Amino acid sequence: MARDHLIRVSDLSVTYCADEGMPIRAVDGISLEISPQEIVGILGESGCGKSTLAGALLRLLPPGAKSEGGILFRGLELMNLPEAELRALRGREIALIPQDPALSLNPVITAGVLIGEVLRAHLPLSAAERRQRVKELLCEVGFDRPEEIYSAYPHQLSGGQRQRIAIAQAMACRPGLLVADEPTGKLDATLQSEIIELLSKIRQQHGTAILIISHDPAILAGFSDRIAVMYAGRIVEVGSSAEIFGRPLHPYTQALMRIASSMITSAGVISRFPAIAGESPDPGCIAEGCRFEPRCSERMDVCSQRYPQTFLPEPSRLVNCFKYGE
Amino acid sequence: MGSNLATNLPANLSNSPGGAFRGDLSGVNLLRVIGLSKQYVRGGLWKKRVQVAAVTSAHFEIARGQTLALVGVSGSGKSTVARCVARIESPDAGQILVQGTDIARLSSRELLPFRSGIQMVFQDAVMSMNPCFSALEAIEEPLRIQRKAIGNRQERRDRVGRLMIEVGLSPDWMDRPISNFSGGQRQRLALARALALRPRLLVLDEALTGLDVSTQAQIANLLLDLQAAHQLTYLLISHDLALVARMANVIGVMAGGRIVETGPAEQIVSNPMHAATKQLLASAKTTAAKFAAITGAPS
Amino acid sequence: MNYILRRLLRAMLLLVGVSALCFLFTEMAPGSFFDEMRLNPQISPETIAALRSSYGLDQPLAVRYARWVNAALRADLGYSIAYNAPVAPLLWSRAKNTLLLTTCALAITWLISVPLGVWAASRRGGLVDRAVTLASSFVISVPELVIAVGLLALVVRWRILPVGGMMSADSDALSMLAKLKDVARHLALPAFILILCETSIIVRHVRASVLEVLGATYVQAARGLGMSQSRLLFRHVLPVAANPAISLLGFSLAGLLSGSLIVEVVCGWPGLGPLILEATLSRDLYLVIGGIMFSALFMIGGNFVADMMLIVVDPRIRKEGVDAR
């Protein structure tokens, strides 16, 4: 360990054992470090295992999922921590911002109490102190009139407001790491940038490290410090945000960036978007070679024979592609 | 709430006064919507009725083979317009002229022949299809309803197979249940189903929303290809102005149930007039700027 | 407030509907109380006709119904031909017993079902869960009547409890406390049968609704924020799961009532059940209608209570109530 990492994931695999059929390896040997105050983006499409990764970091996977590998958080190995200690950690040290704010807030509990519940679970505060803290948190996530929001039920709030409540919940105990699983996936384009701005502000003010998961490079642009690109359960490329956006190395990343840029520049009507042909492989039946090989425009013979090992074309960059070595 | 957005602004500031764009759309308009209004009544037998205006006096027209996009934040009424045009709902006022025939007030029996000409694709392809259906059954459903599922078993399978090829799915998957298809594939299935009746107008209600970026590109390309191949006309509903600006000929911006600005896509993007348009554009531009900054100048 | 008023109005309409249907069906049913008398050569047709008109049975249906409604509004439910007495007090003396039986059964059913259902759901697939599921499906699959008769036979054979009636013959001589104990011992068997049958249904519903909420995204999200299992269950899951359970309360009352009619007949509990059965068999018109109206009143009352509880528990409904103002 050269630097002090906040969390260090090493060779993490998660396997879902379905009753029928083959076990599915949703996350396959992932290693990743996050430093304190760092924002790391996980870029990948649905089904690539990114949400499973988020669950695994919190040690919160559905029954039937088996995880192997190591997750070292502040010197604590989460993989062999008993459930009680994990519970004390969740929300206190590592907090999750879920994907769909319409589903992630309990419909019969008011927003204020929902946030207060997190405080109650971790901090010895009196009811009055808790109430006060909740109001501060509500201001912090951008509500002008916290009293009104405090007693509002989730169904009385808009999508953007709900996501702010979820962020306030996650930030309640000032965790060291926020895990945000597609925090803007279900929001309008306008609201997306607001939420991203809020998360930026939180990092600035509290030095919270953030692991943000998204399928959309545009969300991560200008927000995350480092980006890990995931494809079919594996990380295929890691680099600083500038490197990944400016000079993507893996053909998948390159294609993804072309697509994303074609969708955000308002350069007039086009007759075709750049695209990647085909679909990502079914996680149930993964072939021997590079998982992107069937869709890759630069495939070589070796690509279908074995999985490319990790190459380090530059000191800070990792890429799994035979283009960068043999 | 949003209606003051429209009233605050002098009408002549809008790209096209009155909201209806009458540009150089050559040929006959396939769809022409005049003064479409829809209110929802909340409450019922015992509760006090409250009328909520979802759409107020919307005008627009689409020429054959063109795409008109309605953009706006959620709750701006764009989906209600879509549902009225597809006549899933009945408008309270106004006309919906499909090649000159007003379908706004037709009964469901009278509508049947028009239904095959207008098909709708929803955001959530899973919710709009029975998950127990096989791909074959799902695609054939509209044909059955229109009593056009004729021919023997093999002819029907061939027809569905051709539709599946057309949307980029393998006909070998015809008998798979819908639940076995991925998100992008389901959207393709939904398109195949919509195409089964050879419609002239497709109403795409957030059909690209919620998909992965790479899938979004694939489906968008598919839509563009199908449009070119069949001279299809699209009414595209979306909250994503940036994406829509690259696909639509004409953009209508909705806010508070009104179409507050209409114009050619380039003009809306380069010279927005209404506050709502500027707001939508601002967030798109911020993202684009961030993206350009980081891709253009690596440190 | 408006919500409550609306519910009350709906309840009134329901009562009117039930009574109208009752009149219609009893009219359509073949035969009448006087059919047997007609067979008796000693009674002249004139006498029967006079009797009919004295009970108002010679009037057209609409007139009879109007008269009945008019009287019912003043708590007069007509006159029983067989008992030769006003229906209302007759019914009330029996309804008290049915009410005692069903409310006891209802309370105990819910006291058992809720904790058991929650326990089973929170340890899904565990021993308790499997036992509850298995036992309840067994009880559900056996008809209530068979269970009632079977248990009755067991009790009689082993002489565990007194059977028939609601107190012993010599109960007048007993002290107040001993009297209560006596009634409780008589109550035990019919109540047990009802509780057994009803619990097996309710516990499954409670389990299912708790399971559904436990799987909800917001519960997963709360877990991700470090809520303890018990806090999660009692503060986050139960209030949501309570909604379908409370709606079920109204239905469970219906189940209990119809069940109690059978159980009362089998166990000889002097409730509405045997009375309505007798009245139906002898075509004692107003007694039948009165009995059904009493049952309907119970059910509507139960549903009303459930509705009120929903307002307390679920803010979404409360909101609707506010909107309607």
pLDDT tens for each residue of C27-75: 777 777 777 777 777 878 888 888 777 777 777 888 888 888 888 888 7
Q: Does A240 contact chain B (CB < 8 Å)?
A: yes
For chain A, what is the largest distance between any 2 Cα atoms, rounded to a whole number of angstroms? Answer: 68
Q: pLDDT of C145-163, one tens digit each?
A: 899 899 999 988 888 888 7
Domain hosting C139: range is: 91-323
Residues C289 and C232 in one domain: yes
Give the A:B interface size as CB pairs under 8 Å: 143
CB contact under 8 A, B46 and C325: no
Q: What is the rounded end-to-end Cα distance, in angstroms, of chain C? A: 8
Which of B219, B243, B295 is most worth mutating to test chain A (most A CB atoms within 10 A of its CB)? Answer: B295
Which of C1, C6, C307 is most worth mutating to test chain B (most B CB atoms within 10 A of its CB)? Answer: C6
Considering only CA atoms, give the Rg of chain C. Answer: 24
| Alpha-carbon separation of residue B103 from B27, B36, B202 (angstroms) | 21, 12, 16
pLDDT of residue C295 exceeding 90: no
Q: Which residues of B touch C6 (CB under 8 A)?
A: 46-47
Q: What is the rounded end-to-end Cα distance, in angstroms, of chain B? A: 46
Residues C163 and C295 in one domain: yes
Token pair recorded at residue A248: 């993507």
Chain C nearest-CA distance from B40, in A, is 15
Does residue B143 lie in a domain region?
no
Burial of C199 (0-12, 13-18, 19+ CB in 10 A): buried
Chain C nearest-CA distance from A51, in A, is 13
Q: Which residues of A touch C219 (CB under 8 A)?
A: 106
CB contact under 8 A, B213 and A269: no
Residues C81 and C119 in one domain: no
**What residues 218-237 of chain A have any CB closer than 8 A to a CB of chain B?**
218, 221-223
Domain hosting B83: range is: 3-117+199-291
DSSP C82-107: TTTEEHHHHHHHHHHHHHHHHHHHHH
Residues C78 and C141 in one domain: no
Does residue A113 lie in a domain region?
no
For residue A105, the chain C residue with the least C-alpha distance is: C218
Q: Answer whether A238's CB lies under 8 Å from A317's CB.
A: yes
Q: Which secondary structure element, helix H or strand E, spans residue A196, and what is its range?
A: helix A189-206
For residue A44, the chain B residue with the least C-alpha distance is: B212
Residues C66 and C154 in one domain: no
Structural domain total, chain B: 1
Domain hosting A248: range is: 7-93+175-324
Give the B:C interface size as CB pairs under 8 Å: 15
Residues C40 and C129 in one domain: no
| Sign for the pseudo-dihedral over CA of A286, A275, B202, B72 | positive
Give the pLDDT confidence score for residue A188 in this predicted structure. Answer: 84
Nearest Cα to A220, choosing from B290, B289, B213, B240? B290
CB contact under 8 A, B46 and C9: yes
CATH number, residue C272: 1.10.3720.10
Residues C284 and C224 in one domain: yes
Q: Which of C69, C86, C103 is the last residue of a domain?
A: C86
Q: pLDDT of A201-251, one tens digit each?
A: 999 999 999 999 999 998 999 899 999 999 999 999 999 999 999 999 999
Compute how many other C-beta atoms are within 10 angstroms of the C-beta atom of residue B176: 15
DSSP B42-91: E--SSSPPEEEEEEEEEEEEEETT-EEEEE--TTSSHHHHHHHHTTSS--
For residue A166, the chain C residue with the least C-alpha distance is: C221
Chain A nearest-CA distance from B278, in A, is 11
Residues C80 and C105 in one domain: no
Does residue B59 lie in a domain region?
yes
Give the whole-angstrom CA distance, residue A251 versus residue A277: 13
Q: Which residues of A touch B218 (CB under 8 A)?
A: 275-277
DSSP H helices in C123-237: 127-141, 144-158, 176-214, 217-224, 229-231
Q: Answer whether A125's CB lies under 8 Å from C260's CB.
A: no
Token pair recorded at residue A213: 């998961």
Which of A182, A214, A269, A297 is most worth mutating to test chain B (most B CB atoms within 10 A of its CB)? Answer: A269
| Cα angle value C157/C158/C162 (rounded, 5°) | 90
Residues C25 and C113 in one domain: no
pLDDT of residue C203 exceeding 70: yes
Q: What is the dihedral of CA A291, A295, A298, A303, to 10 degrees?
A: 30
Does residue B45 lie in a domain region?
yes
Residue of B185, B239, B298 with shortest CB distance to A242: B298
Counting residues of chain C whose pLDDT is more than 90, the rounded percentage is 19
Q: Report the amino acid identity of residue C41.
A: P
User: For chain A, what is the mean pLDDT?
Assistant: 90
pLDDT band at B42 (very low <50, low <70, confident <90, very high): low
Does residue A308 lie in a domain region?
yes
Does residue A168 lie in a domain region?
no
CB contact under 8 A, B217 and A262: yes
CATH number, residue A38: 3.40.50.300
Chain A nearest-CA distance from B292, in A, is 8
Judged by phi (left if over 0) then psi (alpha if -120 to 50, else beta), residue B85 lies in alpha
Q: Which residues of A touch C319 (CB under 8 A)?
A: 153, 155-156
Give the pLDDT confidence score for residue B154 in this predicted structure. Answer: 87
Does residue A286 lie in a domain region?
yes
Residue of B42, B46, B50 with shortest CB distance to C6: B46
Chain B nearest-CA distance from C3, in A, is 8
Residue of C9, C10, C324 with shortest CB distance to B48: C324
Count of helix runs (H) and strand runs (E) in chain B: 10, 10
Nearest Cα to A39, choosing from A196, A167, A181, A227? A227
pLDDT band at C323 (very low <50, low <70, confident <90, very high): very low
State CA C236 to chain mean position distance.
31
Residue of C224, C226, C239 with shortest CB distance to A88: C226
Structural domain total, chain C: 2
CB contact under 8 A, A259 and B284: no
pLDDT of residue A3 exceeding 60: no
| Alpha-carbon separation of residue B224 from B40, B165, C145, C203 (angstroms) | 34, 16, 68, 55
Nearest Cα to C87, choosing from C67, C103, C72? C72
Q: Does A103 contact chain B (CB < 8 Å)?
A: no
| Strand-strand pairing, B67-71 and B50-63 | unpaired
Q: Which secondary structure element, helix H or strand E, spans residue B201, and what is its range?
A: strand B201-205
| Alpha-carbon separation of residue A112 from A139, A164, A168, B36 (angstroms) | 12, 12, 10, 41
Nearest Cα to C223, choosing from A60, A213, A89? A60
User: For chain C, what is the mean pLDDT?
Assistant: 84
The interface predicted TM-score (ipTM) is 0.88
Place of tokens 């380069």: B270
Q: Which residues of C touch A107 (CB under 8 A)?
A: 218, 240, 315-316
Q: Report the amino acid identity of residue C292.
A: I
Compute how many other C-beta atoms are within 10 angstroms of the C-beta atom of residue B144: 12
Q: Which of C23, C56, C86 is the last residue of a domain?
A: C86
CATH number, residue B32: 3.40.50.300
Query: Which position has the higher pLDDT, C77 or B24?
Result: C77
Does residue B126 lie in a domain region?
no
Structural domain total, chain A: 1
Q: pLDDT of A250-272, one tens digit each?
A: 999 999 999 998 888 666 778 88
The mean per-residue pLDDT over the stretch A155-182 comes to 94
pLDDT of residue B123 exceeding 60: yes
Chains with 3 or more CB pairs under 8 A to chain B: A, C
Q: Does B41 contact chain A (CB < 8 Å)?
A: no
pLDDT band at C1 (very low <50, low <70, confident <90, very high): low
Q: Does C53 contact chain B (CB < 8 Å)?
A: no
Chain A nearest-CA distance from B295, in A, is 4
Q: Answer whether A237's CB lies under 8 Å from A253's CB.
A: yes
Token pair recorded at residue C16: 């009117």
Chain B nearest-CA distance from A100, in A, is 11
pLDDT band at B5 (very low <50, low <70, confident <90, very high): very low
Q: Report the amino acid identity of residue B281.
A: L
Q: Which of C46, C69, C86 is the last residue of a domain?
A: C86
Residues C67 and C111 in one domain: no
Q: Which secondary structure element, helix H or strand E, spans residue B217, and what is its range?
A: helix B213-230
Chain A nearest-CA distance from C304, in A, is 21
Does residue B92 lie in a domain region?
yes
pLDDT of residue A2 exceeding 60: no
